[in-house]
């Protein structure tokens, strides 16, 4: 196990009838709140009214900024920063999924930053202080409700980049599984693919002996895979929604990465796809991950065979681990297909014309590598895209 | 899943060469520190010198209070409170295992409490403010390095009682697995029994559908059971020590209890044993838990059969779950025996003369019940002690 530090001070309020606590939670942090959200769905569902009522009851001033889209845009972040400065906002409440929360974090980081907030996303600036934020999660997927991470897309050049700062962990996150009943099936499944991917990125590590987090990660993966088809068949089942919602947070709370070297190559390879083609991140991941696995499994066959066995119940052929592994990857692909997710670029109507461009962007024109399980060069990434063709 | 709130803000510094960071960590919290520890082992091992050097380098004033024993005593707590008041201590550093940390928490709670600190342990007082504390863990077992709990024994009447307050979570905990190399085998195994028990207390729940935390808990249990004999055979193996040390924290960080109703009957039944006979808590637990299981399994056979199957690889006999369950409990007993832990009161040279007295004490003379998986009366507890005879 590697040395590590672990600190995660997000307060979670989980369950039914929890949104009404938001006013009290915000009031403990500030007086004037930016309510940040996406489209009109929170107004249609009545969630907006519940939130506003609670905020008003706690005598909070509210300024609104909606309109966040998936693969959230830098232009909206700039708008949010200006609003926060003009209105002297002292707390940001993000209501939505990962896109809204990531956008809120970008705004939180940019308000006190003396320069272009995009600097932070390209590693050219430092954050001194941020505006505190809280979340009401409506899409279990990205884990942004627990993480210190934010990913933003700059429209010019279709660049999708991430940034992380410890002060960007939400002060609180309210998770009410009932809010996810009305999620379209596609968003539900994309979310499950994403949380599974967060577990993979930590599971496939070069650190040899990490049995406790291995087995706990396998338990999480198995749960998501087991619950997914049941949830699709029964989307208003509170118990299933609750398991998946909490699974999304656990997958990204950092605990399952402790003592390990994490990878994140597949996420970076995917970001170039969704950055250009604007497909859902989850859909990009179900395409990229099997291809990445096929490309790298030979670097640690015992680990991949263990995964195939413990997560997909593939019997281990001790004479031929490769057979076991390929059955495992195949089982993953069949799982993705069973929940109607794409597993090839062509399934998502993406032609491969821009593969070279995407590999260039992922590696700073070939100057860098991505990942740590295997350090992938530009050419490796081209090969992975081809495997996903 | 039940509604819950989860907040755990302990900072963990895990790994080799981490003790030297203690001065800096304490200096961020206070100026004058009470160094609280047990016997002389930290002086023999050189740990004391490393700590003192780091504290002095950060210009901290240090007052020492050693002499904490296992099943930590109220008299030492009183002594600590007086020292803290007289010396105007503003931070407590606990160096040791659960006993030392629990003693430190009792002191931390008592310094600003206007009355007898024992009031808190019998539910007759409220804590307004506590002295912040940090830990350097030397015995992985109790999970006190992450929990808000403290258990103290009042010598008069041999009463062992617990108390919990959110402000008693340590600000930081330093976990260096190397510090556990010199632990006697018995303390190592008692620790593993304890962390396993913490997982059981949360696993056996009346909440029906909690698949994610079920599977993650099973992974943790399986890891501890798998690693235990290897660690006994190879006590200086860093990797094994590291897994067990972190397992102890995870078993008690609260995550595996989220959304569940926890039980804790076995702990309460055990406390009466170790309160009177002063045996190690872990040794009491390996005696009490199998007996508790035998007494209650009929209340949820599917859950016990799942546990036997997933943790001990017992094939499920779908025609006879009871057979599967009894094989599972038997496997647990064989596991305890394989690591030289007692599984019957007689193994620990405890006669059963005082069974009735212990059952009385656990239930406030029969007025109360313990546990939630099954609410056990005084007579139930007598029966469980008899099963453990």
For residue B67, what pLDDT band results from cuts at 50, 70 and 90?
A: very high
Please give the Cα distance from B248 to A38 (Å, whole number).
42
What pLDDT score was predicted for residue A256? 98
Q: Which stretch of B59-68, B185-194, B272-281 has the lowest confidence by average pLDDT? A: B272-281
Q: Note whether A166 contacts B: Cβ–Cβ < 8 A.
A: no
What pLDDT score was predicted for residue A22? 98
The verdict on residue B1 lying in a domain is no
What pLDDT score was predicted for residue B256? 98
For residue A66, what pLDDT band results from cuts at 50, 70 and 90?
A: very high
Residues A230 and A378 in one domain: yes
Length of chain B counted residue by residue: 389
ipTM summary value: 0.97
Mean pLDDT across A254-273: 96
Residue that is last in its domain, among A159, A179, A199: A179
Mean pLDDT across B37-47: 93
> What is the pTM for the complete model shown?
0.97
Residues B22 and B106 in one domain: yes
What pLDDT score was predicted for residue B22? 98
Strands B159-164 and B149-154: antiparallel
- CATH code of the domain covering residue A321: 1.20.1090.10
Whether B223 sits inside 8 A of A246 (CB atoms) is no
| Cβ contact B56:B87 at 8 Å | no
In sequence order, the 6+-apart residues with CB closer than 8 A to the CB of A203 are A214, A217, A218, A221, A256, A307
Residue in A18, A211, A247 nearest the CB of B3: A18
Tell me which residue range forms the domain holding A149: 11-179
C-beta neighbour count of B66 within 10 angstroms: 17
Q: Note whether A4 contacts B: Cβ–Cβ < 8 A.
A: yes
Q: Note whether A5 contacts B: Cβ–Cβ < 8 A.
A: yes
Q: Note whether A216 contacts B: Cβ–Cβ < 8 A.
A: yes
Residues B65 and B94 in one domain: yes
For residue B171, what pLDDT band results from cuts at 50, 70 and 90?
A: very high
Residues of chain B contacting residue A258, judged by C-beta atoms under 8 Å apart = 14, 246
| Minimum distance, in Å, between the CA of residue A83 and any CA atom of chain B | 31
The verdict on residue B3 lying in a domain is no
Q: Note whether A12 contacts B: Cβ–Cβ < 8 A.
A: yes
A291's enclosing H/E stretch is helix A281-296
Mean pLDDT across B118-128: 94
Residues of chain B contacting residue A6, judged by C-beta atoms under 8 Å apart = 11-12, 14
Q: Note whether A308 contacts B: Cβ–Cβ < 8 A.
A: no
C-beta neighbour count of A347 within 10 angstroms: 16
| Minimum distance, in Å, between the CA of residue B273 and any CA atom of chain A | 31
For residue B351, what pLDDT band results from cuts at 50, 70 and 90?
A: confident
Residue that is last in its domain, among B179, B209, B226: B179
| CA distances in angstroms from B358 to B70, B154, B277, B362, listed in the order given | 20, 15, 11, 6
A61's enclosing H/E stretch is strand A61-65
The verdict on residue A283 lying in a domain is yes
* First-residue to last-residue Cα distance in chain A: 37
Whether B218 sits inside 8 A of A219 (CB atoms) is yes
Query: Which A residues, 257 through 296, put their C-beta within 8 Å of a C-beta on chain B?
Result: 258-259
Residues of chain B contacting residue A179, judged by C-beta atoms under 8 Å apart = none
pLDDT, tens digit (0-9, with 9 covering 90-100), for A197-249:
999 999 999 999 999 999 999 999 999 999 999 999 999 999 999 999 999 99
Assess whether pLDDT exceeds 90 at residue B276.
Answer: no
Q: The sheet that has A172-175: what strands, in order across it?
A: A61-65, A32-37, A91-96, A133-137, A172-175, A11-14, B4-6
Q: Note whether A311 contacts B: Cβ–Cβ < 8 A.
A: no
The verdict on residue B5 lying in a domain is no
What pLDDT score was predicted for residue A275? 83
Residues B173 and B225 in one domain: no
- CATH code of the domain covering residue A143: 3.40.50.1970
| Minimum distance, in Å, between the CA of residue B255 and any CA atom of chain A | 9
Q: Which residues partner with B63 through β-bridges?
A: B34
| CA distances in angstroms from A84 to A32, A80, A151, B34, B200, listed in the order given | 10, 6, 20, 45, 48
Whether A212 sits inside 8 A of B16 (CB atoms) is no
What pLDDT score was predicted for residue B35? 98
The verdict on residue B201 lying in a domain is yes
Residue that is last in its domain, among A150, A179, A208: A179
The verdict on residue B2 lying in a domain is no
For residue A157, what pLDDT band results from cuts at 50, 70 and 90?
A: confident
pLDDT, tens digit (0-9, with 9 covering 90-100), for B81-115:
999 999 999 999 999 999 999 999 999 999 999 99
The verdict on residue B155 lying in a domain is yes
Residues A192 and A281 in one domain: yes
pLDDT, tens digit (0-9, with 9 covering 90-100), for A350-369:
988 899 999 999 999 999 99
pLDDT, tens digit (0-9, with 9 covering 90-100), for A284-328:
999 999 999 999 999 999 999 999 999 999 999 999 999 999 999
Whether A243 sits inside 8 A of B210 (CB atoms) is yes
pLDDT, tens digit (0-9, with 9 covering 90-100), for A75-96:
999 999 999 999 999 999 999 9
| Cβ contact A22:A136 at 8 Å | yes
Residues B288 and B369 in one domain: yes
Whether B6 sits inside 8 A of A11 (CB atoms) is yes
Query: What's the structural domain count of chain A?
Result: 2
Percent of chain B with pLDDT over 70: 100
Q: Which of A15, A176, A246, A261 to mutate to test the interface with B (most CBs of B within 10 A)?
A: A246
* First-residue to last-residue Cα distance in chain B: 37
SS3 content of chain B, % helix, strand, coil (to 5): 50, 10, 35
pLDDT, tens digit (0-9, with 9 covering 90-100), for B298-328:
999 999 999 999 999 999 999 999 999 999 9
Assess whether pLDDT exceeds 90 at residue A40.
Answer: no
Backbone φ and ψ for A68, nearest 5 degrees, come out as: -70, 135
Residues A59 and A156 in one domain: yes
The verdict on residue A6 lying in a domain is no
A107's enclosing H/E stretch is helix A98-110
Please give the Cα distance from A376 to A74 (Å, whole number).
28
């Amino acid at each position: 196990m590697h040395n590590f530090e672990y600190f995660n001070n997000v307060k979670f309020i989980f369950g039914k009838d929890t949104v009404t606590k938001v006013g009290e939670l915000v009031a403990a942090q500030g007086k004037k709140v930016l309510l940040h959200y996406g489209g009109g769905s929170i107004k249609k569902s009545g969630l907006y009214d519940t939130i506003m009522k609670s905020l008003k009851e706690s005598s909070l001033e509210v300024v609104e900024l909606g309109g966040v889209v998936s693969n959230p845009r830098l232009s909206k972040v700039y708008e949010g920063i200006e609003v926060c400065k003009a209105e002297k906002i002292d707390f940001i409440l993000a209501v939505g999924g990962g896109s809204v929360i990531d956008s809120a974090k970008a705004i939180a980081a940019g308000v006190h930053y003396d320069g272009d907030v995009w600097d932070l996303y390209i590693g050219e600036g430092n954050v001194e202080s941020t505006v505190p934020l809280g979340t009401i999660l409506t899409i279990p997927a990205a884990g942004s409700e627990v993480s210190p991470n934010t990913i933003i897309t700059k429209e010019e050049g279709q660049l999708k980049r991430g940034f992380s700062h410890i002060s960007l962990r939400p002060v609180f996150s309210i998770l009410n599984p009932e809010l996810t009943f009305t999620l379209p099936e596609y968003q539900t499944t994309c979310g499950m693919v994403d949380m599974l991917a967060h577990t993979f990125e930590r599971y496939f590590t070069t650190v040899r002996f990490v049995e406790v987090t291995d087995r706990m990660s396998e338990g999480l993966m198995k749960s998501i895979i087991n619950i997914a088809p049941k949830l699709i068949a029964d989307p208003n089942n509170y118990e299933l929604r609750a398991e998946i919602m909490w699974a999304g947070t656990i997958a990204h709370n950092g605990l399952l990465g402790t003592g390990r070297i994490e990878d994140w190559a597949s996420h970076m390879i995917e970001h170039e796809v969704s950055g250009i083609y604007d497909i859902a991140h989850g859909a990009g991941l179900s395409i990229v991950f099997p291809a990445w696995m096929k490309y790298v499994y030979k670097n640690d066959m015992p680990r991949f065979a263990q995964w195939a066995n413990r997560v997909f119940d593939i019997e281990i052929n001790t004479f031929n681990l490769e057979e076991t592994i390929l059955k495992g990857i195949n089982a993953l692909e069949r799982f993705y297909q069973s929940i109607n997710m794409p597993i090839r670029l062509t399934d998502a109507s993406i032609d491969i014309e821009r593969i070279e461009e995407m590999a260039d962007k992922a590696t700073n024109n070939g100057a860098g590598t991505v990942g740590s399980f295997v350090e992938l060069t530009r050419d490796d990434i081209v090969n992975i895209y081809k495997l996903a063709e």
